[in-house]
Structure 1
């Protein structure tokens, strides 16, 4: 027996009064679980509101431009049994699925027949200038990637110069009729970013031997596009430094042993990551350029210096890497940072991080110490201007002026945007953080 279900805006963190920028369905449409119903856009994120049931849209409760918050009803859906019947009934142009609010989305490689039809018309049109931006919802971006369309070439007719699905459709019709130049996506990843790169090579790998095809996880699809953009757009340089953490590690171990002996039942164990976060916070205070972001277009770029200290850390999950943010670390002790990191890491593993948990970072720490390695070059996470990578600490012989003594050394790799941070400043930051880790008493000065 069917019933009408109210579809409400889910938990979206601290955001409220977010404008509706796109309505993805109309009354009578058949939707599946997690299909996008409407798209919202705050000043920091674009997110789809998914259907919590499979069924038929009976009523749309919002209009374009409406401002809504968590708990607002966006639509009424008549619930029906999920499965083949719903799949078969769904219109061909129904919006692409978009689970729980995310900043963006990705998709499999473009559909071969359509992409081929587009590609044979004429050579690719020149790309937009470096730094040019396109504005479209996750569902529209997914729709464009499925058809092999570069959104930077599509004229926008939506509110605030947003590209809507009809713009993509009209563009494709223009290309196929010869009225517009094609926009060939590079393997669905938009790696060119308007740089006029060659199309991604198309290879039939199966003709060389046995292959197995696996889809990328949703997290890897999302992060892949961000990483590709950051790698192309940011002129980053990586600087290496070794930190002697012999005394700090001994102090950390002794603290944890004391907690165990005193019958501490909180389960909180002091981690080296918490000390790293504290040291980096002090580094951001001493070198304010590291706590900044570039803003604006090309020749109108300006530097935004932040007065708050939010530090992100990369967390490995079964589905890929996510980057939760510890807010206001300057107002928290090492013990408090340990607790918050543990809570965020658990939410990450359980797939329960919300947009608010992953936004607002000033600086990121990427630690692979639990795995190993020596040094690496982490990719700066825009709009931040620097990221610190750390590897596994290792005992090394260090000359003290008289003899070699064993010391525990932590390898650090700092990648910085050279437009903001030059080599001298980056090296000074690295050395300062290493000095703090070698003797945290410096933090008291």
Structure 2
């Protein structure tokens, strides 16, 4: 028997579908959340009024819907069919990524671990696409038998996420007995908190333990007012007279002067929408700046001899692709990374280990019409200057034409941001996490240098090295940039 699920009256005529939490063929229970919609005031989860099997999904992410719109068609199960389904259920269930995007998404968090008992609808991972971060709930109850994906991995619809083992009585009894032997505080850490993805994102951003937030919503669900009140209590607003408020997606502090100005009062304005690339890169740059303790070391390198050699080779070799200064810088950087392996590393997820990489892939920040993109050139240590020049040109053209593959933007060890064609003397580039360093290049200019007898004109290139102070000490930062200086000021070192 088919049953049409319609959008209930939410108090507003139109809302946008921002997440679809089920897929065709899913067995769902009454009150299970189906979609998340967003209006001008809040994100709302829409539950199912009946149990059954999803037969058809009538909405898409980003679609505007109104009260009474048909969301899904449900195949209602009789009690006999439900009982048969339960009896026929397998011991193991494989959870796959549902249809949330036409493109691949990145795994940014895994909320469960092997051996953990999870409930139906409990969030198991968080993924990030071009539009938003999405938490993926478990369609089953059970014990995590195996996790099949890793943080940072790109996955698509149908990718297997984890294998879930059926919760049988012996397992439950064993877990309960184990929990009884633990302290109360450990028991509390394992309880599941009912909250929307929006609330969970806010909690992670402000380091709030949701288990400590008093829930007042239906079925003990945490509402935005609950987390607002919790933050207010922590900040002791009654004494400081500061005022925190929760808007659509973030918590803002009045001391940051986050006032919604009507700029039209002061003159003519024009609004430009951010591209998806700008939104994603802006969010990541903001997070990297906040979470990584940056140190920037500046230096100047004499590239007079290098430039003379480069121009001479271009005249003599007459190659189809001219040899570029950037290819020499990338080559010098690869040798410097080999000399100083901590710069070619990443911090582990738990921040307790440094992961040293034995490969040398360099990302190049490229300005495009859609925003900043960082394609990656692989294995640069083992490539010659001519090959690097050709590959740099090709990958920059592909980036500007938006033809890059996902594989051509992944796996970077270190990034170069070059503003040499625009000008400027120095800048502080922001690290591209999970990398631990980035090299900024400004425009070279003629400067007078004292050779012991007189001032002579030399071509000087400004360098700006930003590095993660959790991994790299200041002294090593100086040694690193000085070694690059050595490579570029005397190109004979590049062949050693």
TM-score class normalised by the smaller sequence: 0.5 to 0.7
Structure 1 residue runs without a partner (length 5+): 1-20, 36-55, 59-63, 69-73, 76-94, 106-133, 155-168
For 2:429, what is the secondary structure of its paired residue? Answer: coil
Equivalent position to 2:430, from 374, 379, 398: 379
CA contact (8 A) 1:375 1:391 kept: yes
- Taking a change above 3 Å as real, the CA distance of residues 383 and 147 of structure 1, as seen in their structure-2 partners, is closer
1:29 aligns with 2:57: yes
**Normalized per residue, which structure has more strand?**
2
How do 1:428-439 residues align onto structure 2 when only pairs under 5 Å count?
428-439=479-490
For 1:136, what is the secondary structure of its paired residue? Answer: strand
Report what 1:291 is aligned to: 344
1:234 aligns with 2:295: no
Report what 1:277 is aligned to: 330
- Report how far residue 211 of structure 1 moved: 1.6
CA contact (8 A) 1:104 1:222 kept: no
- Taking a change above 3 Å as real, the CA distance of residues 334 and 142 of structure 1, as seen in their structure-2 partners, is same
Report what 2:46 is aligned to: none
Report what 1:130 is aligned to: none
1:396 aligns with 2:447: yes
CA contact (8 A) 1:171 1:180 kept: no
- Taking a change above 3 Å as real, the CA distance of residues 277 and 178 of structure 1, as seen in their structure-2 partners, is closer
Report what 1:217 is aligned to: 275
Equivalent position to 2:104, from 101, 104, 119: 101
Report what 1:113 is aligned to: none
- Taking a change above 3 Å as real, the CA distance of residues 340 and 182 of structure 1, as seen in their structure-2 partners, is farther
- Report how far residue 100 of structure 1 moved: 3.7
Deviations 1:54-85 (A, max 9, x none): xx999xxxxx94679xxxxx98xxxxxxxxxx
CA contact (8 A) 2:329 2:488 kept: yes
For 2:272, what is the secondary structure of its paired residue? Answer: coil
TM, length-normalised to structure 1: 0.63
TM, length-normalised to structure 2: 0.57
CA contact (8 A) 1:148 1:188 kept: no
| Count of residues paired in the alignment | 325
Equivalent position to 2:201, from 141, 147, 151: 151
RMSD of the TM alignment (CA)?
Answer: 4.0
**CA distance in 1: counterparts of 2:134 and 2:255, whole angstroms:** 22
Report what 2:223 is aligned to: 175
Report what 1:248 is aligned to: 306
Structure 2 residue runs without a partner (length 5+): 1-19, 25-53, 64-70, 74-92, 109-123, 136-195, 205-216, 232-243
Equivalent position to 2:315, from 243, 257, 261: 257
- Report how far residue 419 of structure 1 moved: 1.3
Report what 2:208 is aligned to: none
- Taking a change above 3 Å as real, the CA distance of residues 231 and 248 of structure 1, as seen in their structure-2 partners, is same
- Report how far residue 32 of structure 1 moved: 6.1
Greater radius of gyration (CA): 2
CA contact (8 A) 1:295 1:303 kept: yes
CA contact (8 A) 2:380 2:388 kept: yes
Equivalent position to 1:317, from 368, 384, 388: 368
CA contact (8 A) 2:304 2:459 kept: yes
